[in-house]
Homo-oligomer: A and B are copies of this chain.
Amino acid sequence: MSLPDDSRYLRGGPVAQRIIAAVREDAAIATAEGFPPKLVSITVGDTAAVEVYVRNQRAKAALAGIEFEERRFPADITAGELEAAIHGLNADPRVTGIIIQRPVPAHIPIKTLQAAVHPLKDVEGMHPASIGNIVYNQLDLAPCTAAASVELLKETGLDLKGLEVVIVGHSEIVGKPIAFLLMSEGATVTVCHHMTRSVAAHARRADALFVAVGRPRLIKADMVKPGAAVIDIGINSEIGPDGESRIVGDVDTDSVKEVASWITPVPGGVGPLTVAILLRNTMVALSRQRALYQATYGVVDKLAAE
């Protein structure tokens, strides 16, 4: 499906291309300097559900000049064995970043795995320390979907300082990180969710509205302030009038588009940008690892130079 040419649409594709081109330059320099970036993807059990995601990550990594290695583990592996494998990757200086593909089998606690990834190799931005660093205003490595959503808001050129932002959805990896990222940029942020008395009342006063709740077409035109920027993070599958399955967001795009000044299409909005952010995070992780290497072993170079 091609999107109608409408300047109100905030499309992720062109932004992703720009970011990947910049990552490609950085990766080439780092590789020439002896620090080639490398991602390791971990899949557990039946990997059919994630295969399309992994293939996309592999293709985009190749575009960016980042090595991509996939490790598959059987469904009956224990959490302890997986943690040991992650600790091995943490200790391997050739590995820049570790991605844990979700879902994992029910007997594996996903948070334990995410916390087992060393924060310096946490390219998905899921480790508690990564989340905490955002709160502490270190904004360059955030959960990919949250960072992609904020990146699209920045595409509008709106001044984030003092901007009235409302986020519908308070999940740990989307809604809350968007909130901290934008608080740190100077926005006034409100986070709504299923317990909020009137989501509409909050949504209507937002200059920028983020929606990430997984409810198709929850946000209608009468819930949006005229001229607002609407970032739709929902990905819902529904059966269209033609009987075919299709993907729709949490926003009723067709009607909201008539009210909002900017809106992300679904698909084609936040989605295409998340992998680009993952690759950018990889370069951030690499530069932090190099800084630590320098701080730890720099004195050796100095001695050698004497």
A135 partner residues in chain B, CB cutoff 8 A: 128, 131-132, 135, 172, 176-177, 180
Cα-based distance from A133 to B172 in the complex (angstroms): 10
A191 contact from B131, B177, B183, B202, Cβ within 8 A? B183
A188 contact from B161, B179, B188, B196, Cβ within 8 A? B196
Q: For residue A159, which residue of chain B has the nearest CB?
A: B195
Give residues of chain A (150-196) contacting chain B, Cβ–Cβ below 8 Å: 161-162, 164, 170, 172, 176-177, 179-180, 183, 186-193, 195-196
A195 contact from B130, B162, B190, Cβ within 8 A? B162
Cα-based distance from A161 to B192 in the complex (angstroms): 11
How far apart are A197's CB and chain B's nearest CB, in angstroms? Answer: 5
Q: For residue A192, which residue of chain B has the nearest CB?
A: B188
When all copies of this chain in the complex are counted, the total is 2
A196 partner residues in chain B, CB cutoff 8 A: 162, 188
Q: Is the CB of A188 within 8 A of B180?
A: no
Q: Is the CB of A183 within 8 A of B170?
A: yes
Q: Is A127 in the interface zone, CB < 8 Å from B?
A: yes
19 extra A-B contacts, CB within 8 A, seeds A132-B132, A179-B179, A188-B193: A127-B129, A127-B132, A128-B135, A128-B136, A129-B132, A131-B136, A132-B133, A135-B172, A135-B180, A136-B172, A162-B195, A179-B191, A183-B191, A183-B193, A186-B193, A188-B190, A188-B191, A188-B196, A190-B190
Q: Which residues of A approach B to under 8 Å, CB–CB? A: 111, 119, 127-133, 135-137, 161-162, 164, 170, 172, 176-177, 179-180, 183, 186-193, 195-197, 202
9 contacts between A and B (CB under 8 A): A128-B132, A128-B135, A131-B131, A131-B136, A162-B197, A176-B180, A183-B193, A189-B190, A190-B190
